């Protein structure tokens, strides 16, 4: 906890002062590259979201899912309001990923509650798999588009 917090404080001071030294660029660029300058902290918010979801596993099963859903809904709303990434596609894929997580958790909650309805469980499992595959395909498409800007091979693959 101390390392990410100290990195956040360091970046906050450098961003507030308006100075971007070689050390900041060299060591911390990965943490805020692609983000709007005023939202340099967003990777820390994403990390905190994941840590809170991991901590929720200490709760009873239905409590885990409800707490994780609450965290995802709050971060979805923040993501939609702030749009912290410079590129519209990055904000879009982040929202899409959170939506897929919410769908997966809701299906998992129903799946976990009633184990007697095998056909419903199969439908829910199919929904989860389809939506997760859609996310992976969309992510790959955006990756190839981004790489296509620099390499012609990926431009042809992305179509």
Query: What residue segments make up the domains of the chain, in order of their start?
Result: 34-158
Q: What share of the chain is helix, strand, coil (3-state, %, to 5)?
A: 85, 0, 15
**Cβ atoms of 145 and 158 closer than 8 Å:** yes
**pLDDT digit string (tens) for the chain, length 159 residues:** 566 667 677 777 766 666 565 556 555 565 667 888 888 788 888 888 988 998 888 888 778 888 999 999 999 999 999 999 999 999 999 999 999 999 999 998 888 777 778 889 899 999 999 999 999 999 999 998 888 888 777 777 766
pTM for the predicted model, two decimal places: 0.80
Name residues whose C-beta falls within 8 Å of residue 32's C-beta, 6 or more positions apart in sequence. 11, 40, 42, 43
Query: Within 56-117, where are the H helices?
Result: 61-82, 88-113
pLDDT at 63: 83
The SS3 of residue 85 is: strand
């Amino acid at each position: 906890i101390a390392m990410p917090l100290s990195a956040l404080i360091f970046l906050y001071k450098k961003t507030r002062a308006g100075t971007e030294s070689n050390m900041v660029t060299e060591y911390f660029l990965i943490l805020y590259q692609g983000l709007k300058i005023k939202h340099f902290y967003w990777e820390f918010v994403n990390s905190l979201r994941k840590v809170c979801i991991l901590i929720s596993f200490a709760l009873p099963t239905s409590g885990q899912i409800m707490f994780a859903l609450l965290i995802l809904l709050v971060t979805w709303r923040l993501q939609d309001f702030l749009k912290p990434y410079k590129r519209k596609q990055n904000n879009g894929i982040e929202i899409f990923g959170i939506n897929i997580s919410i769908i997966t958790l809701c299906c998992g909650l129903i799946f976990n509650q009633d184990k007697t309805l095998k056909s419903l469980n199969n439908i829910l499992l199919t929904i989860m798999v389809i939506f997760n595959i859609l996310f992976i395909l969309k992510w790959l498409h955006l990756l190839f588009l981004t790489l296509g800007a620099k390499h012609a091979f990926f431009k042809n693959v992305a179509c």
